[in-house]
A and B are shown apart, each in its own frame.
Chain A
Amino acid sequence: MQVIEIISESEGLTLRQRWATVFVILMSVLFMLLGLNLRNQVLNATTLYESPQAGVTALYPQNWLLDTTGSYVFRVRDMSRSGFKTTFQVSVQAIGADAQERNLADRLSLDRIVTFTDYRVEPLEPYIFADGREAQALNYIYVATDASPFLQPIPTVVRGLDILTISGGQAVVITYRADANNFDAELPRFEQFLRQLQF
């Protein structure tokens, strides 16, 4: 019995076919780079916030919810996140003439220890702004529970970072809070927020 081989050896691709392969690879890589660029544009897009009364100008992430009704200058939250909403907050507090960041940190800790569940604070660390101004960084953790008991939420461990500085005779507290699992991932965004913050 004779076996007839149907598949012939590849006769080699034509120039058009070779170029088609090259173009497909180039186009796909280009598209993916465009996709990454689009992603970065969206993720890093910001909205301007100005408060002439407090002397604060900030660029906060686009689509975050702005809130100016509390005891702070402003607060923005990422409402698209499930669970604890990542928060940036700027507040200004009156202090004594000879007060230091250390005193401010103690006062914040004393306030929070009675309002936050399982509040734990780490030692103060020095922090330097992009323009060279000195500040103190206060790291802490606590357990947050959703306000609505009907949702039967599981408590979330929240990590927080306060940047404490004294400017123009008043204390400025810049706060970053996020779910402990997302804290490191969101930190670059907060650092960008800090770089663009003017007060």
Chain B
Amino acid sequence: MAFINNPRLITPPKEEEEIYPYRRAWRSIFIETGVVMGLTLVAFVLVNFIGITVPSEFSLYVNVLLAVLPTLLWLLFSRVPENNAVEPRRRLLTTFTVTALVANAIGIPLVNSVFEPTAWLPLQSDVNRILGYMLTVGILQEFLKYLVLRYIVWPDYYRIRTDAVAYGVATAIAYAMVLNLHYALANPNAATDVVLMRIFANLSIQIVGSIIVAFGLSETLFSNALSLFLPFMMAIAALLSGVAITLRASFLNAVIGLTISSQREIFGLLFSLVFYFAGMAVFFFLFSITEQREQDRIIGQEI
């Protein structure tokens, strides 16, 4: 029984901490959107309560800079850290660039000249507007982003479930950047807080939509889900886009009254925050639970 007296066996061997080889996609998203959210709130307070505004001669430049801010944050917190990851995700920048080009060349012209939602939807009831935006703007945006993912990275570059999140967010940031740039250039004198609220609203709609489609893509690839699961997820993403566009406008619009009334910006911002957190919480949970089940299944097989 010599091993009883062996001092090396008294203390159990220290287990080496396993290095996670991929960039943590969820953390990057929450940092990026958190910064935009924080800046939006700060700008709202500065403009509305302290009275600090950007001089009109600089407002265009500031607004354009704000429109590309989410992209800069994405490059800083998502793309650059990929270089330091043990197993970096490839084609992230390609996905981003192609989505931006597709959004600018196909998405926005198609909405403005073919679907023309502003010509027929504003006077409709809320239900009709939700359906209208879902069947035009919502489905078009999600479909274009899906096509980019499908033919550039899916399925070859998807190794784990959060790859779907990382690539999905790249398309979302690109599409939102184009929408935001169009808005900033079309409204050069818009107040900084209004621009930031629009930027955050676009960002939240795009990210939530992309995360939903990303869940569909990951389940289709890793769990061999039913063929109708992915189109179902895309329909939900389009529907939520319709809901977000419609309800945000409803919350934002000024009420009719006898006194002077203006847009209720804070309600629009609160709606965007609720929409973003609710959507992200649900799909973060779904991603986590499917990942956990997958790990349990693998462990079960090994045993």
Distance in angstroms between the alpha carbons of A26 and B228 in the assembled complex: 11
Whether B132 lies near A35 (C-beta < 8 A) is yes
CB neighbors of A among B118-164 (8 A): 119-124, 128, 131-132, 134-136, 139-140, 142-143, 146, 150, 155-157, 159
Say yes or no: A27-B235 contact (C-beta < 8 A), given A20-B229, A35-B115, A42-B124. Answer: yes
Distance in angstroms between the alpha carbons of A42 and B227 in the assembled complex: 34
Rounded to whole Å, the gap between the CB of B286 and the closest CB of chain A is: 18
Whether A36 lies near B115 (C-beta < 8 A) is yes
Distance in angstroms between the alpha carbons of A6 and B226 in the assembled complex: 27
Whether B155 lies near A35 (C-beta < 8 A) is no
Whether A38 lies near B132 (C-beta < 8 A) is yes
Chain A residues whose C-beta falls within 8 Å of the C-beta of B225 in the assembled complex: 16, 20
Distance in angstroms between the alpha carbons of A39 and B122 in the assembled complex: 12
Instruction: Give per-residue flags for A12-32: 1 if the beta carbon is below 8 A from chain B beta carbons, else 0.
Output: 011011011111101110011
Whether B226 lies near A27 (C-beta < 8 A) is no
Whether A31 lies near B156 (C-beta < 8 A) is no
Whether B131 lies near A20 (C-beta < 8 A) is no
- Identify which of B123, B128, B140, B159 contacts A6 (C-beta below 8 A): B159
Rounded to whole Å, the gap between the CB of A7 and the closest CB of chain B is: 7
Starting from the known contacts A7-B156, A28-B143, 12 additional A-B residue pairs (CB-CB under 8 Å) come to A19-B227, A20-B228, A23-B227, A23-B230, A24-B143, A26-B231, A27-B235, A32-B135, A32-B143, A35-B115, A38-B131, A63-B123
Binding site for B on A (CB under 8 A): 6-7, 9-10, 13-14, 16-17, 19-24, 26-28, 31-32, 34-36, 38-39, 42-43, 63, 80
Q: Could you write out 28 A-B pairs with CB less than 8 Å apart?
A: A9-B156, A10-B156, A16-B227, A17-B224, A19-B227, A20-B220, A20-B231, A23-B227, A23-B230, A24-B230, A26-B231, A28-B139, A31-B139, A31-B235, A35-B115, A35-B132, A38-B135, A39-B116, A39-B120, A39-B132, A39-B136, A42-B121, A42-B124, A42-B128, A42-B132, A43-B119, A43-B120, A63-B123
